[in-house]
A and B are shown apart, each in its own frame.
Chain A
Amino acid sequence: MNDTTNHTTDDSTDHSTDDRTEDARGARPTFGQRRKDRIDQLATAGTVDDEPGVSLIRSAWKRLRRNPIFLIGAAITLAFIVLAIISPWIAPWDVTARPLLDKVRPQSNPVPGPEPGHFLGADDRGRDLFSRLLVGSRQTLIVGVVATLFGLLGGLTLGTIAGAVGGWVDSLVMRIVDVMLSIPSLLLAFTVASLARNPSQWTLVIAIAIIQVPIFARLLRGSMLAQRASDHVLAARSLGVRPTAIVFRHMLPNALGPVIVQATLSLAVAIIDAAALSFLGLGNPDQSQPEWGQMLGRAQPFITEAPHLAFYPAGCIIVVALGFTLMGESLREALDPKTRR
């Protein structure tokens, strides 16, 4: 086991590119079909057990520990979470304070530049940009995590029902899920978010949670079906275990692996979507709670004079989303039986 670990870590990146080229060949599937296939592919990942004696999680960790991609992703994610938690205490200025108000000249200098004590300068209202960026991580994290949690909860419920009951219930649930998947997700989120009379961060959370539900539902249903056909479920049935116990004790815990991996990937998407929605003004209008997408939206009128006002929040969004994606992808690869040798 020890001597093969090196190879596996090195090869894992090559392998994933192979998979991608394979997907690109042949007839071009439709957008919705491609998404469904991808979700179904994920369903098989992480469900197969490892060789005897080594638990799945331990062997995956062995691989992850030496994977630089995972380490970078995890470092970014960890730094982001820590910052989001402690930002109100370490931010040099209050986010509502306007220390550079008298430097703002609407005609000649709408956005004050950097100066001692304000090393990124201020925004168009004279508020310290660095402090707002720091504190903005908090809203971003809350919206991303809570939306993904809600989406996960909804997806788990639907996926469990579909995968456990089967038959016409399965067909009904999955057709609804397919309809939701066929609508481009950001468009669906816009539609849901624009229904709210008073937009707030909860509008964002609900809109993004709704677009996550079908992904989790389909994924979980797939791995529940795989579990239903597994030997240990047959063995449990042969011992007369009740159906509810089979679903919740024998199928669901074993089917969760790929869903958890998908959740880390979904966090990145949720963060980007949340930023997109609040950029368009569908998010929290309350400026005492800065949010990167909202800051990005407010930077629009000044893009020619002060492009940095847009670049900083945009950069933050990109880096954080990248962190979650790198971590999620390497997690998926480590748990995928196909990349092991």
Chain B
Amino acid sequence: MTQTQHTNRPRGGSSEPLLSVRDLRVTFQRQGEEEFHAVDGVSFDVRPGQTVGLVGESGCGKSVTSLAIMGLLPGRGNRVSGSAIFDGEDLLTLSPAAMRDRRGSEIAMIFQDPLSSLNPVISIGRQVTEVMERHQGLSRKQATPKAVELLERVGIPDPKARLLNYPHQLSGGMRQRALIAMALACNPRLLIADEPTTALDVTIQAQILALLKELVVDTGTALVMITHDLGVVAGLCDEVNVLYGGKVVERGGRHGLFRDPRHPYTVGLLNSIPRLDAARGEKLSPVPGSVADNLPWTSACAFAPRCSQVVDACTRETPQWEGDQVVGHRCFNPMGGTR
């Protein structure tokens, strides 16, 4: 047990957190409909230079978490509570104008679909320089050589010519690189990547992940990696948060989490990855059921209907967090604990 605790600890856990999310709750409510808790008390820390993963299937609240931190949720129909302390300021209480000043310069975001996230009617160069003009007060002339540098840094060949290209003229991987260049234009201290590789094919995925890793190491930028792909997590993240139904159900260092997962959901996710060393013809074992089966967290464990380890308590009370801010899980009957 002590052995596990030790290896579960992620590295880089010593310095002060750059972003500290505490008890973040996002509730959506439409007129005449029941409230929906998209994010239900999520807490995590991100330290400078660290990569933190938020993992979970569709609808577990990972994208909403990032949008709430960025202040990009639609104005009406939702309620955000809790805090997200970034560099001593609570991002959730900042005015919209102050938040706009932080976005792009201090915190930037990379989106899932690089084609639809680029403006189709303006050239790539214009979109990259726009950010620098906005935050660094540069003229377009001053920003252009910097844009060339940036495009070169993210691995776009012949960056000068690419400046004049429009998004439709670039390949998928190039577009994602251009988006990354835009996000990095003002050297943000925190980068949130929302499934940056989902829309790309596998070889390009590997290139983009390598690029992100390189940039994080070189610039000391903290990275929040949102993904449903545990392969991405294994290659990139220092700390992993597994989300289910809007709550963190397990947290740990990359190595610890993969070697000794405690929460049955994490185990389910790991088992549902196709493995090269599995016997031929062996079937994948997916997590049964869907998020639609969830029980409310207020009186049960939301995962209970899909869980292989379910015990009586799971459907009667809310499982509490077992552990600390670095390692822990939320389960009545965790796996692997007997060892």
Instruction: List residues of A whose CB falls within 8 A of some B CB.
Output: 49-50, 52-56, 230-232, 234-242, 245, 249-250, 253-254
Closest to A236 in B: B119
Instruction: List residues of B whose CB falls within 8 A of some A CB.
Output: 70, 72, 100-105, 108-109, 111, 113, 115-122, 130-131, 134-135, 166, 168-169, 171-172, 179, 182-183, 185
Q: Are B166 and A55 in contact (CB under 8 A)?
A: yes
Candidates A239, A245, A253; contact of B183 at CB < 8 Å:
A239
How far, in angstroms, from A235 to B193 measured CA to CA in the complex? Answer: 12
In the complex, chain A residues whose CB is within 8 Å of the CB of B122: 249-250, 253
Closest to B128 in A: A239
Given A238-B108, A240-B103, residue A254 in contact with residue B179 (CB < 8 A): no
Tell me how far the C-beta of A256 lies from the nearest C-beta in chain B, rounded to whole angstroms: 9
Q: Are B120 and A254 in contact (CB under 8 A)?
A: yes
How far, in angstroms, from A55 to B121 measured CA to CA in the complex? Answer: 10
Tell me how far the C-beta of A168 lies from the nearest C-beta in chain B, rounded to whole angstroms: 12
Candidates B104, B108, B109, B168; contact of A55 at CB < 8 Å:
B168
Q: 13 other contacts beyond A240-B135, A254-B121, with CB at 8 A cut-off?
A: A49-B168, A52-B115, A52-B168, A52-B172, A232-B116, A232-B119, A234-B117, A238-B108, A239-B183, A240-B104, A241-B131, A241-B134, A249-B122
Q: Are B111 and A235 in contact (CB under 8 A)?
A: yes
Total of A-B residue pairs, C-beta within 8 Å: 84
In the complex, chain A residues whose CB is within 8 Å of the CB of B179: 235
Tell me how far the C-beta of A170 lies from the nearest C-beta in chain B, rounded to whole angstroms: 13
**19 residue pairs bridging A and B, Cβ less than 8 Å apart:** A55-B168, A55-B169, A232-B117, A232-B120, A235-B179, A238-B70, A239-B131, A239-B134, A240-B103, A240-B134, A241-B131, A241-B134, A245-B130, A245-B134, A249-B122, A253-B121, A253-B122, A254-B119, A254-B120
In the complex, chain A residues whose CB is within 8 Å of the CB of B169: 53, 55
Closest to A54 in B: B168
In the complex, chain A residues whose CB is within 8 Å of the CB of B111: 231, 234-235, 238
Given A49-B120, A232-B118, A254-B119, residue A238 in contact with residue B72 (CB < 8 A): yes
In the complex, chain A residues whose CB is within 8 Å of the CB of B101: 240
How far, in angstroms, from A250 to B169 measured CA to CA in the complex? Answer: 18
Q: Are B108 and A250 in contact (CB under 8 A)?
A: no
Q: Are A242 and B116 in contact (CB under 8 A)?
A: no
Q: Are A239 and B120 in contact (CB under 8 A)?
A: no
Closest to A53 in B: B168
Q: Are B117 and A235 in contact (CB under 8 A)?
A: yes
How far, in angstroms, from A185 to B173 measured CA to CA in the complex? Answer: 50
In the complex, chain B residues whose CB is within 8 Å of the CB of A50: 168
Closest to A241 in B: B134
Q: Are A237 and B131 in contact (CB under 8 A)?
A: no
Closest to A239 in B: B104
In the complex, chain B residues whose CB is within 8 Å of the CB of A52: 115, 168, 171-172
Q: Are A240 and B117 in contact (CB under 8 A)?
A: no
Candidates B102, B104, B120, B166; contact of A241 at CB < 8 Å:
B104
Tell me how far the C-beta of B176 lies from the nearest C-beta in chain A, rounded to whole angstroms: 12
How far, in angstroms, from A56 to B121 measured CA to CA in the complex? Answer: 10
How far, in angstroms, from A230 to B116 measured CA to CA in the complex? Answer: 8
Tell me how far the C-beta of B109 lies from the nearest C-beta in chain A, rounded to whole angstroms: 4
Closest to B74 in A: A229
How far, in angstroms, from A238 to B134 measured CA to CA in the complex? Answer: 12
Closest to B192 in A: A238
How far, in angstroms, from A54 to B120 measured CA to CA in the complex? Answer: 12
How far, in angstroms, from A273 to B169 measured CA to CA in the complex? Answer: 43
